[in-house]
Structure 1
Amino acid sequence: MRIQIICTASPISVYGDRVTALRWSEIFRDMGHAVEVAQHYGGTICDLMVALNAYRCADAVLQFRKRHPEKPSIVALTGTDIYRDVAHSPKAQEAMEVADRLVVFQPLAAQVLPEHLRKKTRLIYQSAEQTRDPTPVDRNAFVVAVVGHLRQDKDPLRTAAASRLLPETSKIRVFQAGDADDGDLVYQARQEALTNRRYRYLGSIPRWKVRQLIAGSNLLVLSSLIEGGASVISEAVVDYVPVLATRIPGNVGLLGEDYPGYFEPGDTEGLARLMYRAETDPDFYQALKTRCALLARQFRPEQEEKAWAQLIKEVAKARRSAAKT
Structure 2
Amino acid sequence: MALKVALITPTGRGSRAGNRATATRWVGLLRALGCQVKVAGSQEDMAQCRIAGRPPDLVMALHAWRSHAAILACRRAFPDCSLVVVLTGTDVYRFQHSHPEVFHESLAAADVLVGLHDCLAEDLPSRFLPRLQVVHQSALPLPPRAPRPGRRHLDVLVAGHLREEKDPLRAARAVRELPADSRLRVIQLGGTLDDAWADAARDEMAVNPRYRWLGDLPRWRVRQWMARARLMAISSRMEGGANVVSEACVAGLPVLASDIPGNRGLLGNDYAGYFSVADTAALRDLLRRTEVEPAFLGTLRRQVLARAPQFRPEAERYGLARVIAACGLTP
Q: TM-score, normalised by structure 2?
A: 0.92
Cα distance in 2 between the residues matched to 1:18 and 1:220: 22
Corresponding position: 1:103 with 2:105 = no
Q: Aligned equivalents of 1:294 and 1:25: distance in 2?
A: 27
Q: Provide the C-alpha distance between the structure 2 equivalents of 1:15 and 1:130, rounded to a whole number of angstroms.
A: 21
Whether contact under 8 Å (2:120, 2:261) holds in the other structure is: yes
Hey, what does 2:91 align to over in structure 1? Answer: 81
Q: Distance in 2 between matches of 1:185 and 1:61?
A: 32
- Give 3-state SS (helix, strand or coil) of 2:252's partner: coil
Most deviating of 96-105 and 194-203: 194-203
Identity among equivalent pairs (%)? 41
Hey, what does 2:67 align to over in structure 1? 57
Residue 254, structure 1, aligned to residue 266, structure 2: yes
Preserved contact between residue 165 and residue 269 of structure 1 (Cα < 8 Å): no
Q: 1:137 Cα deviation (Å)?
A: 5.3
Count of residues in correspondence between the two structures = 318
Q: Which runs of 4+ in 1 moved over 4 A?
A: none
List aligned pairs for 1:96-245, cutoff 5 A.
Answer: 96-133=107-144, 134-136=146-148, 138-245=150-257
Q: Distance in 1 between matches of 2:288 and 2:132?
A: 40
Q: Which moved more, 1:305-314 or 1:275-284?
A: 305-314
Q: 2:316 aligns with which of 301, 304, 319?
A: 304
Moved more, 91-100 or 152-161: 91-100
Partner of 2:53: none
Structure-2 residue corresponding to 1:266: 278
Tell me the equivalent position of 2:45: 42
Q: One-letter code of the match for 1:144?
A: V
Residues 1:234 and 1:84: Cα distance change in structure 2 (over 3 Å): same
Aligned partners of 1:101 and 1:120 also within 8 Å? yes
Query: Which amino acid is the alignment partner of residue 126 of structure 2?
Result: E
Q: Is 2:233–2:257's contact at 8 Å kept on the other side of the alignment?
A: yes
Shift, 1:314, TM fit: 2.9
Q: CA deviation at 1:195?
A: 2.4
Give the whole-Å Cα distance in 2 for the aligned partners of 1:203 and 1:255: 27
Gaps spanning 5+ residues in structure 2: where? 51-55
- Structure 1: 5+ residue stretches without partners: 319-325
Distance 2:102 2:154 in 1: 47
Q: How does 1:285-304 map to 2 (within 5 A)?
A: 285-304=297-316
- The alpha-carbon deviation at position 258 of structure 1 amounts to 1.8
- SS at 1:38 equivalent: strand
Specify the code of the residue in structure 2 equivalent to 1:300: R
RMSD of aligned C-alpha atoms? 1.4
